[in-house]
Amino acid sequence: MQLDGAEVAPRRRFAPVLDRDWALALALAFAVGVLVWFGRSIKEFFAPTAATVYVPAFTGQTGADVRAECGRIRLRCVVIATQPSDRYPKDVVMNQQPASGTRVREGRQISLVVSSGVVIFPMPDLRFESLRNANLDLNHFKLQLDKTTYVNDDNVPRDHVVGQDPLPLASVRQGSKVSLTLSKGPPSGVKVPNFTGMYIDDARKAAQNARVHLGQIVWTPFGPTGPRRGEIVRQSPGPGATMDPFEEVSLQVSAGPGEYGYLIRQVHVSATVPPRDDAAHVRIELRDDTGTWNVYDSFAQGGQKLDFNVSAVGSAEIDTYINNELLNQTTIGREPARWIPSPADAARGNASPKPSPT
**Domain limits for position 82:** 52-115
pLDDT category, 224, cuts 50, 70, 90?
Answer: confident
CB burial readout 113-138, b (16+ within 10 A) else e: bbbbbeeeeebbbbbebebeebeeeb
The pLDDT tens digits for 232-287 are 999 999 998 888 777 889 999 988 876 666 666 778 888 888 887 777 888 999 88
- Tell me, what CATH number does 225's domain have? 3.30.10.20
Residue 86 lies in a domain: yes
CATH number at residue 270: 2.60.40.2560
Residue 158: inside a domain? yes
314 C-beta neighbours (distance < 10 Å), count: 20
**CB-neighbour burial class of residue 303 (10 A; exposed 0-12, middle 13-18, buried 19+):** exposed
Q: How far apart are the C-alpha atoms of 7 and 143, rounded to whole Å?
A: 106
- Is the pLDDT score of 288 beyond 70? yes
In the chain, the number of structural domains is 4
Which burial class, exposed, middle or buried, applies to 193 when counting CB atoms under 10 A from its CB (0-12, 13-18, 19+)? middle
Give this prediction's pTM: 0.43
For residues 166 and 133, membership in a common domain is answered with: yes
Q: In terms of Cα–Cα distance, which of 307, 312, 264, 261 is closest to 286?
A: 312
CA distances from 221 to 116, 197, 228, 343, 352 (A): 66, 16, 10, 17, 18
Task: Give the model confidence (pLDDT) of 119-129 as tens digits.
Answer: 788 899 998 88
